[in-house]
Amino acid sequence: MTDALATLPAPRHPDPADAPALRWGVLGPGGIAADFTDALHRHTGQRVVAAGSRSAERAAAFAAAHGVERSHGSYEALVSDPDVDVVYIATPHSEHLEHALLAIAAGKHILIEKPMAVTAEQARRIVAAAREAGVFAMEAMWTRYLPQTDIIRQLLEREALGELRVVTADFGGHVPYQPESRLWNPALAGGALLDLGVYTVSWASFALGAPAGIIAAGTLAPSGVDEQAALLLSSAGGAQALLSTSLLAGTPSLATISGSAARIETDSPFWGPSGLRVFRSDGTLAAHWRDPYGRPHRDGMAYEAAALARYVGEGRTESPLHPLAEAVDTLATIDEARRQLGATRVE
Protein backbone atom coordinates (compact mmCIF):
# COMPACT_ATOMS: atom_id res chain seq x y z
CA MET A 1 0.00 0.00 0.00
CA THR A 2 2.81 2.39 0.86
CA ASP A 3 4.57 1.93 -2.49
CA ALA A 4 1.31 2.28 -4.38
CA LEU A 5 0.54 5.56 -2.66
CA ALA A 6 4.05 6.93 -3.17
CA THR A 7 3.80 6.46 -6.95
CA LEU A 8 0.71 8.29 -8.14
CA PRO A 9 -0.94 7.41 -11.44
CA ALA A 10 -0.44 9.81 -14.31
CA PRO A 11 -3.45 11.78 -15.54
CA ARG A 12 -5.09 10.03 -18.49
CA HIS A 13 -6.37 13.16 -20.21
CA PRO A 14 -4.72 13.95 -23.55
CA ASP A 15 -3.65 17.46 -24.45
CA PRO A 16 -6.72 19.69 -24.97
CA ALA A 17 -5.14 20.87 -28.22
CA ASP A 18 -5.54 17.36 -29.67
CA ALA A 19 -9.36 17.30 -29.43
CA PRO A 20 -11.45 17.58 -32.61
CA ALA A 21 -12.18 21.21 -33.46
CA LEU A 22 -15.79 22.32 -32.99
CA ARG A 23 -17.32 25.69 -33.72
CA TRP A 24 -18.80 27.27 -30.62
CA GLY A 25 -21.42 29.92 -30.05
CA VAL A 26 -21.45 31.80 -26.74
CA LEU A 27 -24.92 32.58 -25.41
CA GLY A 28 -24.54 35.26 -22.74
CA PRO A 29 -21.27 37.19 -23.19
CA GLY A 30 -20.38 37.88 -19.55
CA GLY A 31 -17.29 37.41 -17.42
CA ILE A 32 -17.19 33.62 -17.32
CA ALA A 33 -17.89 33.48 -21.07
CA ALA A 34 -14.89 35.75 -21.62
CA ASP A 35 -12.62 33.44 -19.62
CA PHE A 36 -14.05 30.37 -21.34
CA THR A 37 -13.49 31.84 -24.80
CA ASP A 38 -9.94 32.91 -24.00
CA ALA A 39 -9.13 29.48 -22.52
CA LEU A 40 -10.39 27.73 -25.66
CA HIS A 41 -8.42 29.98 -27.97
CA ARG A 42 -5.21 29.70 -25.92
CA HIS A 43 -5.17 25.97 -25.26
CA THR A 44 -7.34 24.11 -27.78
CA GLY A 45 -8.23 23.89 -31.45
CA GLN A 46 -11.81 24.83 -30.56
CA ARG A 47 -13.00 28.18 -31.82
CA VAL A 48 -15.77 30.47 -30.64
CA VAL A 49 -17.17 31.70 -33.94
CA ALA A 50 -20.21 33.64 -32.69
CA ALA A 51 -21.44 35.50 -29.63
CA GLY A 52 -25.09 36.24 -28.90
CA SER A 53 -26.76 38.68 -26.54
CA ARG A 54 -30.07 40.51 -26.24
CA SER A 55 -27.93 43.59 -26.85
CA ALA A 56 -26.32 43.76 -30.29
CA GLU A 57 -23.80 46.25 -28.95
CA ARG A 58 -22.79 43.98 -26.08
CA ALA A 59 -22.40 40.99 -28.39
CA ALA A 60 -20.32 43.00 -30.84
CA ALA A 61 -18.06 44.33 -28.08
CA PHE A 62 -17.48 40.80 -26.77
CA ALA A 63 -16.67 39.51 -30.25
CA ALA A 64 -14.19 42.30 -30.87
CA ALA A 65 -12.47 41.82 -27.50
CA HIS A 66 -12.07 38.05 -27.77
CA GLY A 67 -11.33 37.35 -31.41
CA VAL A 68 -14.79 36.05 -32.28
CA GLU A 69 -15.79 36.21 -35.94
CA ARG A 70 -19.31 37.56 -35.61
CA SER A 71 -22.02 38.57 -33.20
CA HIS A 72 -25.78 38.31 -32.96
CA GLY A 73 -28.23 40.68 -31.33
CA SER A 74 -30.53 37.91 -30.13
CA TYR A 75 -30.22 34.45 -28.66
CA GLU A 76 -32.51 33.09 -31.38
CA ALA A 77 -30.11 34.30 -34.06
CA LEU A 78 -27.16 32.70 -32.26
CA VAL A 79 -28.70 29.25 -31.93
CA SER A 80 -29.90 29.43 -35.56
CA ASP A 81 -26.40 30.21 -36.87
CA PRO A 82 -25.58 27.34 -39.26
CA ASP A 83 -21.85 27.63 -38.52
CA VAL A 84 -22.32 26.91 -34.79
CA ASP A 85 -21.91 23.27 -33.70
CA VAL A 86 -22.28 23.69 -29.95
CA VAL A 87 -23.73 26.44 -27.76
CA TYR A 88 -22.07 27.41 -24.48
CA ILE A 89 -24.83 28.75 -22.21
CA ALA A 90 -23.31 31.30 -19.85
CA THR A 91 -26.33 33.33 -18.77
CA PRO A 92 -27.41 33.47 -15.10
CA HIS A 93 -28.67 30.07 -13.98
CA SER A 94 -32.17 31.49 -13.60
CA GLU A 95 -32.23 31.51 -17.41
CA HIS A 96 -30.56 28.17 -18.11
CA LEU A 97 -33.78 26.26 -18.68
CA GLU A 98 -35.11 28.69 -21.27
CA HIS A 99 -31.83 29.01 -23.12
CA ALA A 100 -30.99 25.32 -23.05
CA LEU A 101 -34.38 24.45 -24.53
CA LEU A 102 -33.89 27.16 -27.16
CA ALA A 103 -30.55 25.72 -28.27
CA ILE A 104 -31.79 22.13 -28.18
CA ALA A 105 -34.80 23.04 -30.32
CA ALA A 106 -32.34 24.44 -32.87
CA GLY A 107 -30.52 21.08 -32.93
CA LYS A 108 -27.37 22.33 -31.20
CA HIS A 109 -25.18 20.49 -28.73
CA ILE A 110 -25.00 22.35 -25.41
CA LEU A 111 -22.58 23.01 -22.58
CA ILE A 112 -24.49 24.65 -19.72
CA GLU A 113 -22.74 26.58 -16.98
CA LYS A 114 -23.18 25.15 -13.52
CA PRO A 115 -25.61 24.59 -12.03
CA MET A 116 -27.48 23.17 -15.00
CA ALA A 117 -30.70 24.81 -13.80
CA VAL A 118 -32.30 26.29 -10.69
CA THR A 119 -33.97 23.06 -9.55
CA ALA A 120 -33.69 19.35 -10.22
CA GLU A 121 -37.04 19.41 -12.00
CA GLN A 122 -35.82 22.07 -14.41
CA ALA A 123 -32.69 20.03 -15.05
CA ARG A 124 -34.81 16.96 -15.79
CA ARG A 125 -36.68 18.95 -18.45
CA ILE A 126 -33.38 19.88 -20.11
CA VAL A 127 -32.19 16.28 -20.02
CA ALA A 128 -35.45 14.98 -21.49
CA ALA A 129 -35.38 17.55 -24.29
CA ALA A 130 -31.74 16.81 -25.17
CA ARG A 131 -32.35 13.07 -25.26
CA GLU A 132 -35.45 13.46 -27.42
CA ALA A 133 -33.52 15.66 -29.85
CA GLY A 134 -30.47 13.41 -29.83
CA VAL A 135 -28.06 16.26 -29.09
CA PHE A 136 -25.13 16.23 -26.68
CA ALA A 137 -25.72 17.98 -23.35
CA MET A 138 -23.28 18.54 -20.47
CA GLU A 139 -23.10 20.62 -17.32
CA ALA A 140 -19.94 22.74 -17.22
CA MET A 141 -18.57 21.20 -14.03
CA TRP A 142 -15.04 21.77 -15.30
CA THR A 143 -13.43 20.35 -12.14
CA ARG A 144 -14.32 16.84 -13.34
CA TYR A 145 -12.03 17.17 -16.37
CA LEU A 146 -8.89 18.49 -14.66
CA PRO A 147 -5.74 16.32 -14.59
CA GLN A 148 -5.71 16.27 -10.78
CA THR A 149 -9.27 14.94 -10.74
CA ASP A 150 -8.27 12.02 -12.94
CA ILE A 151 -5.47 11.12 -10.54
CA ILE A 152 -8.01 11.06 -7.70
CA ARG A 153 -10.46 9.11 -9.87
CA GLN A 154 -7.85 6.42 -10.47
CA LEU A 155 -7.03 6.16 -6.77
CA LEU A 156 -10.73 5.72 -6.02
CA GLU A 157 -11.10 3.12 -8.77
CA ARG A 158 -8.18 1.16 -7.27
CA GLU A 159 -9.68 1.53 -3.77
CA ALA A 160 -6.28 2.85 -2.69
CA LEU A 161 -7.86 4.85 0.16
CA GLY A 162 -9.59 1.83 1.64
CA GLU A 163 -13.17 2.23 2.83
CA LEU A 164 -14.26 5.84 2.36
CA ARG A 165 -15.45 7.48 5.57
CA VAL A 166 -15.23 11.30 5.46
CA VAL A 167 -15.34 13.80 2.59
CA THR A 168 -14.98 17.57 3.03
CA ALA A 169 -15.11 20.63 0.79
CA ASP A 170 -15.49 24.38 1.24
CA PHE A 171 -15.94 27.31 -1.10
CA GLY A 172 -16.72 30.79 0.17
CA GLY A 173 -16.07 34.35 -0.82
CA HIS A 174 -16.92 37.76 0.58
CA VAL A 175 -19.49 39.37 -1.71
CA PRO A 176 -20.85 42.81 -0.70
CA TYR A 177 -24.60 42.72 -0.26
CA GLN A 178 -26.41 44.29 -3.20
CA PRO A 179 -29.99 43.02 -3.22
CA GLU A 180 -30.53 43.49 -6.96
CA SER A 181 -27.31 41.75 -8.02
CA ARG A 182 -27.21 38.18 -9.32
CA LEU A 183 -25.87 36.54 -6.18
CA TRP A 184 -28.32 38.22 -3.81
CA ASN A 185 -31.50 38.45 -5.87
CA PRO A 186 -33.95 35.54 -5.52
CA ALA A 187 -35.46 36.37 -8.93
CA LEU A 188 -32.03 35.57 -10.41
CA ALA A 189 -31.69 32.36 -8.34
CA GLY A 190 -29.18 33.98 -6.00
CA GLY A 191 -27.59 32.44 -2.95
CA ALA A 192 -24.40 30.65 -1.99
CA LEU A 193 -25.58 27.11 -2.65
CA LEU A 194 -26.56 27.64 -6.29
CA ASP A 195 -23.31 29.44 -7.05
CA LEU A 196 -20.21 28.50 -5.06
CA GLY A 197 -21.89 25.68 -3.19
CA VAL A 198 -22.56 23.58 -6.27
CA TYR A 199 -18.82 22.82 -6.46
CA THR A 200 -18.83 21.35 -2.95
CA VAL A 201 -21.95 19.25 -3.50
CA SER A 202 -20.53 17.96 -6.78
CA TRP A 203 -17.28 17.03 -5.02
CA ALA A 204 -19.21 14.96 -2.48
CA SER A 205 -21.14 13.31 -5.31
CA PHE A 206 -17.88 12.51 -7.11
CA ALA A 207 -16.55 10.70 -4.04
CA LEU A 208 -19.68 9.15 -2.53
CA GLY A 209 -22.51 9.35 -5.03
CA ALA A 210 -25.95 10.76 -4.29
CA PRO A 211 -26.59 11.16 -0.55
CA ALA A 212 -29.00 9.03 1.44
CA GLY A 213 -29.44 11.79 4.05
CA ILE A 214 -29.15 15.58 4.03
CA ILE A 215 -28.92 17.98 6.98
CA ALA A 216 -28.49 21.69 6.27
CA ALA A 217 -27.92 24.70 8.51
CA GLY A 218 -27.15 28.29 7.66
CA THR A 219 -28.35 31.86 7.46
CA LEU A 220 -30.42 33.89 5.02
CA ALA A 221 -29.78 37.32 3.56
CA PRO A 222 -32.43 40.06 3.90
CA SER A 223 -33.46 39.24 0.33
CA GLY A 224 -34.28 35.68 1.38
CA VAL A 225 -31.47 33.82 -0.40
CA ASP A 226 -29.02 31.63 1.50
CA GLU A 227 -25.95 33.66 2.37
CA GLN A 228 -24.11 30.85 4.16
CA ALA A 229 -24.72 27.13 4.49
CA ALA A 230 -23.21 24.01 6.00
CA LEU A 231 -24.31 20.59 4.80
CA LEU A 232 -23.92 17.16 6.35
CA LEU A 233 -24.54 14.48 3.74
CA SER A 234 -24.60 10.80 4.61
CA SER A 235 -24.19 7.85 2.27
CA ALA A 236 -26.04 4.57 2.45
CA GLY A 237 -22.80 2.96 3.63
CA GLY A 238 -22.34 5.37 6.53
CA ALA A 239 -19.74 7.72 5.05
CA GLN A 240 -20.29 11.44 5.58
CA ALA A 241 -19.58 14.61 3.63
CA LEU A 242 -19.08 17.91 5.45
CA LEU A 243 -19.56 20.86 3.11
CA SER A 244 -19.62 24.62 3.56
CA THR A 245 -20.28 27.61 1.34
CA SER A 246 -20.58 31.31 2.02
CA LEU A 247 -21.07 34.72 0.45
CA LEU A 248 -19.93 36.33 3.70
CA ALA A 249 -16.31 35.18 4.02
CA GLY A 250 -13.50 33.82 1.91
CA THR A 251 -12.62 30.24 2.78
CA PRO A 252 -9.60 28.07 1.87
CA SER A 253 -11.27 26.22 -1.06
CA LEU A 254 -9.86 22.87 0.01
CA ALA A 255 -11.30 19.39 -0.33
CA THR A 256 -10.45 16.01 1.14
CA ILE A 257 -11.40 12.37 0.80
CA SER A 258 -10.47 10.19 3.78
CA GLY A 259 -10.60 6.42 3.92
CA SER A 260 -9.48 3.64 6.23
CA ALA A 261 -6.12 3.27 4.44
CA ALA A 262 -5.25 6.79 3.27
CA ARG A 263 -6.56 10.26 2.54
CA ILE A 264 -6.33 12.80 -0.25
CA GLU A 265 -6.07 16.52 0.41
CA THR A 266 -6.26 18.93 -2.51
CA ASP A 267 -4.25 22.07 -2.84
CA SER A 268 -6.20 25.31 -3.14
CA PRO A 269 -8.41 25.81 -5.01
CA PHE A 270 -9.80 22.30 -5.26
CA TRP A 271 -12.13 23.34 -8.06
CA GLY A 272 -9.36 24.58 -10.40
CA PRO A 273 -5.93 23.37 -11.51
CA SER A 274 -3.78 23.10 -8.37
CA GLY A 275 -2.48 19.86 -6.91
CA LEU A 276 -3.00 17.19 -4.28
CA ARG A 277 -1.36 15.40 -1.40
CA VAL A 278 -1.81 11.76 -0.40
CA PHE A 279 -1.30 10.74 3.23
CA ARG A 280 -0.97 7.23 4.61
CA SER A 281 -3.21 6.07 7.44
CA ASP A 282 -0.47 6.93 9.97
CA GLY A 283 -0.51 10.57 8.79
CA THR A 284 2.78 10.51 6.89
CA LEU A 285 2.93 12.16 3.49
CA ALA A 286 3.14 9.62 0.68
CA ALA A 287 3.09 11.91 -2.36
CA HIS A 288 2.51 15.51 -3.45
CA TRP A 289 1.49 16.21 -7.04
CA ARG A 290 1.47 19.76 -8.42
CA ASP A 291 -0.20 20.64 -11.69
CA PRO A 292 2.63 21.14 -14.24
CA TYR A 293 0.61 22.02 -17.32
CA GLY A 294 0.52 25.81 -17.25
CA ARG A 295 -3.26 26.23 -17.54
CA PRO A 296 -3.98 28.04 -14.27
CA HIS A 297 -7.27 29.28 -12.86
CA ARG A 298 -10.08 29.42 -15.43
CA ASP A 299 -7.71 28.40 -18.21
CA GLY A 300 -8.60 24.94 -16.89
CA MET A 301 -11.97 25.26 -18.62
CA ALA A 302 -10.12 24.21 -21.77
CA TYR A 303 -10.24 20.63 -20.47
CA GLU A 304 -14.03 20.43 -20.35
CA ALA A 305 -14.37 21.92 -23.84
CA ALA A 306 -11.87 19.43 -25.23
CA ALA A 307 -13.66 16.58 -23.47
CA LEU A 308 -16.98 17.65 -24.98
CA ALA A 309 -15.45 17.77 -28.46
CA ARG A 310 -14.09 14.24 -28.04
CA TYR A 311 -17.42 12.93 -26.78
CA VAL A 312 -19.29 14.48 -29.69
CA GLY A 313 -16.74 12.94 -32.06
CA GLU A 314 -17.38 9.56 -30.45
CA GLY A 315 -21.12 9.91 -31.00
CA ARG A 316 -21.98 10.25 -27.31
CA THR A 317 -24.88 12.33 -26.00
CA GLU A 318 -23.55 12.91 -22.47
CA SER A 319 -20.34 12.86 -20.48
CA PRO A 320 -19.19 9.54 -19.01
CA LEU A 321 -17.25 11.45 -16.33
CA HIS A 322 -20.21 13.58 -15.25
CA PRO A 323 -23.48 12.02 -16.41
CA LEU A 324 -26.61 14.12 -16.71
CA ALA A 325 -28.32 12.09 -13.97
CA GLU A 326 -25.58 13.14 -11.55
CA ALA A 327 -26.05 16.82 -12.39
CA VAL A 328 -29.76 16.35 -11.64
CA ASP A 329 -28.97 14.60 -8.34
CA THR A 330 -26.67 17.45 -7.31
CA LEU A 331 -29.51 19.91 -7.82
CA ALA A 332 -31.86 17.64 -5.88
CA THR A 333 -29.43 17.84 -2.94
CA ILE A 334 -29.33 21.62 -3.22
CA ASP A 335 -33.15 21.73 -3.51
CA GLU A 336 -33.46 19.92 -0.19
CA ALA A 337 -30.80 22.02 1.52
CA ARG A 338 -32.49 25.25 0.39
CA ARG A 339 -35.83 23.87 1.58
CA GLN A 340 -34.41 23.16 5.03
CA LEU A 341 -32.89 26.65 5.20
CA GLY A 342 -36.15 28.28 4.15
CA ALA A 343 -34.47 30.09 1.25
CA THR A 344 -36.73 32.07 -1.06
CA ARG A 345 -37.46 30.17 -4.25
CA VAL A 346 -38.37 31.80 -7.53
CA GLU A 347 -38.80 29.31 -10.37
Q: Where are the domains of the chain?
A: 16-142, 147-292+318-341
Q: Is the pLDDT of residue 41 over 60?
A: yes
Closest CA relative to residue 114, chosen from 89, 132, 82:
89
pLDDT at position 129, please? 98
* CA nearest neighbour of 246 among 301, 180, 177: 177
Taking only the tens place, the pLDDT of each residue in 144-158 is 999 999 999 999 999
CATH for 147-292+318-341 is 3.30.360.10
Lowest-confidence segment of 6-20, 50-64, 156-170, 237-251 by average pLDDT: 6-20
Please say if the pLDDT value at position 272 is more than 60. yes
Mean pLDDT for 165-174 is: 98
Confidence of residue 1 (pLDDT cuts 50, 70, 90): very low
What is the average per-residue pLDDT within 168-188? Answer: 97
| Confidence band of 166 (pLDDT split at 50, 70, 90) | very high
CA atoms within 13 A on the CB side of 165: 10
Q: Is pLDDT above 70 for 218?
A: yes
Average pLDDT for the chain: 96
Query: What does the buried/exposed string (b/e) look like for 124-160 if buried means 16 or more CB atoms within 10 Å of the residue's CB?
Result: bebbebbeebebbbbbbbbbbbbbbbbbbbebbeeeb
Percent of the chain with pLDDT strictly greater than 70: 99
- pLDDT at residue 239 tops 50: yes
Pairing label, strands 262-266, 275-280 = antiparallel
| Residue 293 backbone zone (phi > 0: left; psi -120 to 50: alpha; other: beta) | alpha
- Please report the pLDDT score of residue 346 as a whole number: 67
Q: Is the pTM of this model over 0.75?
A: yes
114 is catalytic: yes
Bond from prior residue into 16 cis (ω within 30 degrees of 0)? no
- State CA 41 to chain mean position distance: 20
Catalytic hit among 114, 144, 263, 295 = 114
pLDDT band of residue 347 (cuts 50, 70, 90) is: low
Which homologous superfamily is 16-142 in?
NAD(P)-binding Rossmann-like Domain (3.40.50.720)
* C-alpha span between 266 and 278 (Å, rounded): 9
Indicate the burial class of 55 (C-beta count within 10 angstroms; 0-12, 13-18, 19 or more).
middle
